[in-house]
Amino acid sequence: MTRLFKGGGMMKRQVLRAVAVVGLSGAVITGCSSSEGADRTDQPSASSSPSVEPVSAKAQAAEKVKLVVEERISVDEGQFGSGTNSPCSTSSPQMFTAKCKAAAAATSEAAGLALREINGRQGFTTLDSVARKLQDAVRTYGTLGCATSPTAADTRKACLEPAAVIAQGFPDLRSGANVGLAGK
């Protein structure tokens, strides 16, 4: 290069300036396109490769159980309430009436739905336990005749436990379905 620019200082400066401008322009252009390109080419596109791992059959089953049970619970809970708002709450004057009996039947049906949905699958131990406990409580409530406003003190006292389980049934089923997502 020195031979080329011997005696031509002005020309040497112009060439160096041109090289510098081209180099700087290239760096700027490359820098911009690299950062933009990185967003486009360094990350896989949705069409070229999956960005989400496929959901396992077990996780799909757990999600389905949760959705089906939650849908049913929401309808029944909207109609009958739950916890202290349930007609089966031990503090409710409706605990010994047909209103609690209807709530108990709806709770038992929701528990039965949960049991049918899990159908012996692994990973639903909590939901299975809650659903069976609810069905037992509903049977006991019916066997004792709690909805007919029994007068015997022993019978009324015996109605308290199953009624409390029934009143808490919808939230317990919901929790059991949520725990099922974790495989428990």
- Determine how many CB atoms are found less than 10 A away from the CB of residue 87: 23
Pairwise CA distance, residues 77 & 90, whole Å:
17
Domain parsing of the chain, residue ranges: 57-181
Per-residue pLDDT tens for 17-45?
554 444 544 444 445 444 444 444 455 44
Instruction: Supply the pLDDT for residue 184.
Output: 67
Model-level pTM?
0.68
Per-residue pLDDT tens for 95-104?
999 999 999 9
Instruction: Supply the pLDDT for residue 181.
Output: 74
Average model confidence (pLDDT) for the chain? 79
Expressed in angstroms, the distance from the first to the final Cα of the chain is 77
Q: Which comes out higher in pLDDT, residue 85 or 64? A: 85
Per-residue pLDDT tens for 119-144?
877 888 899 999 999 999 999 999 99
Do 100 and 166 touch, CB atoms closer than 8 A?
A: yes
Minimal CA–CA distance to 172: which of 53, 88, 95, 98? 88
